[in-house]
Amino acid sequence: MTPRPIYLDHHATTPVDPVVVAAMLPYLTEKFGNPSSRQHLFGQEAHAAVEEARAHVARLIGAEPGDIVFTSGATESNNLAVRGAARAPGSRGRHLVTTAIEHPAVLEPARTLEHEGYEVTVVAVGPDGLVATDDVARALRPDTVLVSVMAANNEIGTMQPVAEIGRLCRERGILFHTDAVQAVGRVPVRVDEWETDLVSISAHKMYGPKGVGALYLRRARRPRVRLQAQAEGGGQEKGLRSGTLNVPGIVGLGEAARLAAEALAAGEPARIAALRDRLLAGLRREIDGVEVNGSSERRLPGNLHVSIARAEAETLILSLGGRIAISSGAACAEAGGKGSHVLRAVGLPDERIYTALRFGIGRFNDADEIDEAVKALAAAVDTARSRASAAPR
Ligand SMILES: *Cc1c(COP(=O)(O)O)cnc(C)c1O
């Protein structure tokens, strides 16, 4: 039997931690109740489990449990935040500010609002993949209702100055949303220090299950955030997100949050950053023409994004023969066929984009896997380059 590939694609998704699976299982079997059915034990135990999960998620980001709304994932959280804030009754205007490297789950709802007559200012990023707070400040207007800037980018891993942007927005009384999917559980996230009003979270990027997420929205303290609900129905989640709660998923998210808090306290980010540095050092030692894309300083611990000269990424991944699970840098915008909007926004030339690889290192990787990945990549680069030079011109 061929061994499973080494998984180095933790920005796409993460494996579910076995501890999380164990916590979820009873809620798929005997504890199957609907948390809204409070008259009997089944509903009561489901309700209690959801509230415990809510407390774990809140604690991880320094929020109050009442500030957490469960959703079907961060795509829904982002849509609820962006559309919900813009369309809230009494909102201060019809202008939004976001950045060129946001996830499509922010950019697409912003575009939809534009078709409805809202104005959207898209702030550029520098060659380091960072947005300048001054540029955000210049984009603000008296009728700006929402600023949405992600905490950490899912391709190049760059971490934006969210605390500075939060302060700026708070001073002007403008709502600030941050898509923190890639940051939560990987680096410390404190909603009060960041002065954020809305924060999107996804379970499957932090060793929880797919199809469940959360939106933090500040309600316990002032100024309270008002949103227009996007799904109407039974009035669950204080009317902000109707629909029977995904109890096993929510329990999984809660347990993943509890484990993440432990892992952060136990130094997991430093351990993962050391593996990332080992990977980069190995690649530089074995392969010539390795260039890092995006800021090296303000970057997620497990992220490495490189371009390898004269080794087209798709060819390289084929040459790897399925031994290492990674993504080509352009993969995130395959549907459009124009290459990643993030790498374009950073201003990389075509040859850097088409030779770009994204590595995402996670909780269960070890040094042996990193060394094996370096070896496999070095061999695959040789193969890819010799194929390219042998190809007829
Ligand atoms: C994965 C991801 C999302 C979407 O989350 P889902 O839970 O898969 O809908 C949104 N934003 C970022 C930055 C992501 O990495």
pLDDT tens for each residue of 183-205: 999 999 999 999 999 999 999 99
Torsions phi, psi for 70 (to 5 deg):
-80, 140
pLDDT value for 254: 98
**Cα 185 to Cα 201: distance, rounded to the nearest angstrom:** 10
| Delimiting residues of CATH 3.90.1150.10 domain(s) in the chain | 6-14+267-390
Is the beta carbon of 205 within 6 A of some atom in ligand 1?
Answer: yes
Give yes or no for residue 331 having a pLDDT over 90: no
pLDDT value for 393: 53
Is the beta carbon of 67 within 6 A of some atom in ligand 1?
Answer: no
Q: What separation in Å is there between the alpha carbon of 392 and the centre of ligand 1? A: 41
Give yes or no for residue 339 having a pLDDT over 80: no
User: Catalytic positions, please?
Assistant: 332
Give yes or no for residue 221 having a pLDDT over 80: no
Q: What separation in Å is there between the alpha carbon of 349 and the centre of ligand 1? A: 26
Tokens of residue 26, six digits: 């009873």
Give yes or no for residue 391 having a pLDDT over 70: no
When pLDDT is averaged across residues 335-360 and rounded to a whole number, the result is 88
Give yes or no for residue 386 having a pLDDT over 90: no
In this prediction, residue 40 has a pLDDT band, given cuts at 50, 70 and 90, of very high
Strand partners, 304: 359
CA dihedral 250, 256, 258, 261 (to 10 degrees): -140
Is the beta carbon of 202 within 6 A of some atom in ligand 1?
Answer: yes
Q: Which CATH class is domain 6-14+267-390?
A: alpha beta
- Listed range (36-40, 243-247, 295-299, 385-389) with the worst mean pLDDT: 385-389
Strand partners, 216: 68, 199
141 or 321: which leads in pLDDT: 141
The answer to whether 315 and 384 have CB atoms below 8 angstroms apart is yes
In this prediction, residue 280 has a pLDDT band, given cuts at 50, 70 and 90, of very high
pTM exceeds 0.85, yes or no: yes
List, in sequence order, the alpha helices (H) in 87-236.
104-115, 133-139, 162-172, 191-194
Is the beta carbon of 79 within 6 A of some atom in ligand 1?
Answer: no
380 or 387: which leads in pLDDT: 380
Q: What separation in Å is there between the alpha carbon of 284 and the centre of ligand 1? A: 31
Q: What is the CATH number of domain 18-263?
A: 3.40.640.10
Looking at residue 31, its amino acid is: K
**Cα 324 to Cα 312: distance, rounded to the nearest angstrom:** 16
In this prediction, residue 78 has a pLDDT band, given cuts at 50, 70 and 90, of very high
In this prediction, residue 356 has a pLDDT band, given cuts at 50, 70 and 90, of very high
Q: What separation in Å is there between the alpha carbon of 11 and the centre of ligand 1? A: 9
The answer to whether 190 and 61 have CB atoms below 8 angstroms apart is yes
| Delimiting residues of CATH 3.40.640.10 domain(s) in the chain | 18-263
List, in sequence order, the alpha helices (H) in the chain.
18-24, 41-61, 74-86, 104-115, 133-139, 162-172, 191-194, 247-265, 268-286, 313-319, 341-346, 350-353, 367-390
The answer to whether 353 and 330 have CB atoms below 8 angstroms apart is yes
CA of 204, closest atom in ligand 1: 7
Is the beta carbon of 75 within 6 A of some atom in ligand 1?
Answer: yes
**322 CB neighbour count, 10 Å cutoff:** 10
pLDDT value for 62: 97
The rounded percent of the chain whose pLDDT value lies above 90 is 90
Tokens of residue 117, six digits: 């007559």
Is the beta carbon of 358 within 6 A of some atom in ligand 1?
Answer: no
pLDDT value for 337: 55
In this prediction, residue 92 has a pLDDT band, given cuts at 50, 70 and 90, of confident
Give yes or no for residue 156 having a pLDDT over 60: yes
Is the beta carbon of 14 within 6 A of some atom in ligand 1?
Answer: no
Distance, CA of 341 to chain centre = 16
Inter-CA distances, 237 with 36, 61, 318, Å? 10, 19, 46
Question: Best mutation site among 10, 160, 179 for ligand 1, i.e. most ligand atoms within 8 A of its Cβ?
Answer: 179
Q: What separation in Å is there between the alpha carbon of 202 and the centre of ligand 1? A: 6
